[in-house]
Structure 1
Amino acid sequence: MRFTLQLKVLSLFILLITKFTLKAQDKRVLDSLTNIIEHTSDNDLKIETLLKRSDVYPLALSERAEQDILQAEKIALADSNYKRLAEVYNFYGYLLRALGNNQKAITVFGKSRAAAISGDRVTLKGHAEQNMGTTYASLAQNDSALYWLDEAYRTYSSVENTKTQFFLNVVASKGLLYNNVGKYDLAIIEFDKAIALYGSDTENRILSGIYGNKGNALNLMHKHEDAIDNYIKALKINEKYKDSARIMYNLNNIGLLFSNLNDYQTAKKYHLRALTIAKRLGYDERNPYYNMNLAQDYKGLQRIDSAYINFKKALEIAASIDNDSWRAVTYRNYGNFLLTQKDYKAAEEYLTKALKIFEVIQNITEIASVKSSLASIKIENNKLGEAQTFLNSVDSLKGVGYLRPMTTAIANQVAIEYDSIIGNKDSLLVNYKRQLTLLDSLYNQNEKMAVLKAEANYQIERQELLHQIEVQKSKQKRITTLIFAIILAGIAIIILIVMVLKRRQAKLLHTAQLEQLEQEHLLNLANTLSQAEQDERKNIAHKLHDEVGNLLSIAQLNVSQLATSGGIQETGQQAKLQATSRVLGEITESIRTISHSLMPIALEKFGLKPALQDLVSLLNTSDDIHVEVIIDGIDDTTLWPAQLPLTIYRMVNEVLNNILKHAKAGNILLQIIELENAVTVYIEDDGIGYSDTANTKNGRGLVMLKNSIEYCKGMIEISKAPNGGTFVFAEIPTHID
């Protein structure tokens, strides 16, 4: 009693909270609709507005929504307005279904159908029939669901120019229903009907769900190539519309396909991507499939601890949601996992829970699968009578509904184990022939990889037992079949490898193209900046050499003339004029040196070869060092990259300066040779040799030099020469594609 009172108080509190937390936008809509209801005298408009207002209320205010619907019903009945009455009952059925009262919802949808018939409203009659079908499906009353969905399709077909969407809803609902009960061949027929309804509109957003569900059916029938084709179609549509939720479902389904092929590593990759999106969207706590699928992958990878963790998480989610089908699948998978770990007691507990739910929702293929697993447990526990009961039940189910090929194969294998234990050779032979027939039917282009992998665990045992049963002719046939299967498997593996390699190659090509575009962009940008820098250097060098240098030369000449003219007699003044002349000369020389370093005048006016010869001639005027120069080619550099001559000149200048400053050398060899598509520079001295310490301390110019050469796609090597000095070798391409 006290608990009931507390529950009522809590419900009232939630209702008050909901009332005061209505979105501002919804409140404005409610106020507008209320204003129409209170002031209109048009009953048809009042009914329409009452239904709209009932649809705006949140589920927590369902009592108000129900009041609006019942008021609309009263007006429609008084006016004998059957069109509106049919709409009223449809709205009422939706509300009841949302509240979980499916049985009452069916009754109300039935009233909607009767009103539509009375008012000769055929389309509304189809809506009511479709709603009855989908509601029966949620109650697992599959025969009634199929009956009313078929009625809805016939009703829509009787109306000219019926919207495609109406047919699509019915067909898609039938396909999902067949999927849920394991009749995958019939589900595919319905999904194909839905796809055909869209004709050439192959990228319609709604089609992504149809392709995904069709892929699920094909996957469960082990038609993997067709399944992946439908998954990819769905994925492309969802990526086009950036539909994260549906992309998540597609990735999860692709992972299941690879799991069925025993490629658990690839399956895990797709399932992790799906789980990442699910967490971002908040779906991971509302659906156990993501963790359950990961658990299956970890089991296949023999990472048992990780499998346990993900199964436990899936079980927690399954227990917290109101979805019997998901809960049953979670129990079944966890039970089968425990069976592989030989925890027979816990496995039987969870499989029994799953069986009870599957029997309620009448999923024949799942019932057979679970009973096969339970029979296997009974055999392990030496309860052969109970095992026989389960096996007989599975055998009887084969004629009732569609069973997945692998479900049948597993059931046959359990029966073979049972017959082997009890020594029933006749039954053993029958079951082996069944198994062989089933396996032979599975060896086709779409299924060979999955079947070969799934059956590998007992292939040897099967051959040994068949040898004891079959005659020599049968043995030869078996060997031929095995060879054929191996050939098919080899072809399949080759095709799979080629597909993977092509896919990887396409991805690498795409990445390389992107990197090339980025490099070209950076190169163009660097070229532009480099050219701008060279132009600015050239401009400054010309101004220093031609303008500032000339002005300083004139000033020096004037001072010299003044000093020698005799106009100034004082000795002190004469000394100052001579000192000023010397300073002006030094400034002029410094200006020329700076101008030359910014842009060598000889390089610009006469070219690379004369500029280098001029540089060497200048060094050879010194008595302390001798430079021997060998230059082959480089007479015409007009076809080279614009910055290359200056780079080579600066490299030679920088190395020679370093030798003069640090090497204590007496002789230098400079050798420059132009090849077909490159130019090589070799410089060697007989000094004290290359030092890492000196290079670190004074080699800032060398670092910049290396960067410049690498920018030109060249290479440079600096090391100790055999004679104890230092040699520098560089090779730079003269033509860059």
Structure 2
Amino acid sequence: MSVFKKIAFVFVLTHVVFNLSVGQTNGTKSVVDSLNELLQKEKNTNVHWRLLLERAVQRPASNYEQAVMEATSVLDHYREENDEEGTTDAYIALGNIHNQQKDYKKALHYDSLALALAEKANFAKGKVLAYRNLGRESVAAGNILEAKTNYEKALELELTFNDKDSDLERLLSYYNQLGITNRILGKFEASATYLNEGIRLAEKNGRDRALAQLYMNLGNTFSETSRYEEAVTMHLRSVKIKEHLNDSLGLGQSFTNLSIVFRAAKEFDKAIAYLRKSQQINSAFKNHKGSGLNAANLAVIYIEKKELDSVPVFFEQAIANFSRASDNRGLALAFHNYGKFLFDMNRLDTAEIMMEKALALRKKAGSDTEISTTLANLGQLEMSRGNFAKAEHYLLDAQHRIDTTKTTRALSDLYTYLSELYRHQKNYEKAFAYLKKVLMLEKNSFTENERVALLKAESKYELEKRDLELALEREKQRDHQFRLFLIGVLIAMALIAIISVLWIRRKQVKERHQSQLQQLTQTHRIATAQALRKVEEEERKKIANKLHDEVGALLSIAKLNVDQLEADVFAKDSEAVLKLQTAKKLLGDMGETVRAISHSLVPVALEKYGLKPAILDLINAVNISGKIKVEEVIEGLDRADDWSDEFRFGLYRILQEVLNNIIKHAQATHVLVQLVELERSLTIYVEDNGKGLDMATGANGMGLNLLKRNIEYFNGVIEINGRQNQGTFVLIELPLDTASAH
């Protein structure tokens, strides 16, 4: 494999790793703010700790230390409570926080603790999440086989859950991740199987965002097996969904993948065009990581096109964007590949600077595989300068770190460099030993390449065969399902018709019975109420007549006798005269009181002159007191004599009760009374400027309750509204159909 092809492979792998991380978004400020509000209101201690843990996970990367502190406090709490499930969740949260910060070692540490504790406590959900996160960390470390194993375990557990406990989004993500990892490992049929199953689930449940990712990654699998037309079809399906969702960043990712398909098909101009589109989106959204990947891929394309003048510019752009994104892994990769390119251009000093930067970043990340690759390149560089001791130091350090159990291009290159080094040092025994290892690896690599090519061909054949079989099976299933559906529809329609007829008849009978019962109840209620009000009015008249005719007459006779007695017996200005005058005054007051009670029981003006004059008389009586000024506006009521006595008396007493309440409680100096007769209703509006009404307490007084019952009797409605020291208004509406119905 040439240097340029190795660079291309590394950037494709990097883009795959980038795909794996898509969808793991950081908590936004709005989410954290919402959790802050919930935490302030929450009284339940258990829920409080859960919310605190969720807030720690949702905090943005800029609040890393605060997020760690919060999650650690929750972890300590659950440990003290011996809550193993809570402790597991806290470990997983800390793993997520450190992964977001790209501290993969700490993330791996906490997720491993989570898995161990979840297995001990038999906490199935904890195990699923721990396996998922361990798969994520394995990808970050470049251990794709281990990542695949972890995702398989997570999927296996997820499929054992019932619908209540299972999470469709997690399930779709496992199918997606397994499709990606199997593709990287060359297991293309397995990759397509997982991705197709994910697509089936996503289409069935309407999960468009996940469907777009699955289409895109199936396109990547087709691209690996040289099925470029199908790859483009899948990517364009993904693009269509992302356009519908306004997922601009997702579109940028799809455009990048389309560029990889066209580059693999040697259509470099189309590949560059799609990268330019992706770059525009990444620039608009300041997606520096995506911009870094695009610049790196453009460098690879121009290397393959043999147009090398632009390559340094693209590498510089990649380095700048990875730096802005604080993506040390991408930055290390860009430094490494740029250094290798500069070495091939014989610019050794600048190449050394790039490689040293890559080595420092990779040592910080702790991936031995990546460290060994950079060490090997530095060894080759020092060897070209003739610094054999320094070259030997770099190369042996690389050998110590690299996995020698696997046949890889990197291991073959390292052994080649060591053989060449010892040949220069004239240590022919070691040089020959390493040369034998190189030949053995080349032999294994040749066999491996043949196997991969065969696997690709077999996978392509199996995929095509499986697609045809699935299409045929789907067609048969559709025919069978349509026949069953047609039969089911006919049966269902017949059952629905029968049930509908029975249900409608039963409903009609029930409604008829209920209507009759309600009508009977209403008639009885009205009759009873009318009888009670009739008796009440008759009793009022009797009492008023007795007070007026008998008690009033007796009081008048008594007053006449006292007057006569004063004239005949007592001397003027005597003390007896004063006592007698006091008695006369009391008798006069008693007479006025009896007269007032009599008129309140049965308003004389209402009986003699009608409703409108009686109301004016009532308002005038209040005005005469001089304490309250009542202003009236009356529209209509000219045909009130046609209304029933019950309605007229009821209306009069409703207004009387409202004015009495104002006089007793409102401390008002001005009252506005409006009575408006409409076509079908009568509106009474009374407003005062008094101290207002406390709606919490005063709205349920005895007087107001009596007023409300009187209004309800006539099927009327009342609205009362009052504010402290801002007066009160009362709005009453009475339907006029009750004026003749009662």
Return the TM-score normalized by structure 2: 0.46
**Structure index of larger Rg:** 2
What's the TM-score once normalised by structure 1's chain length? 0.46
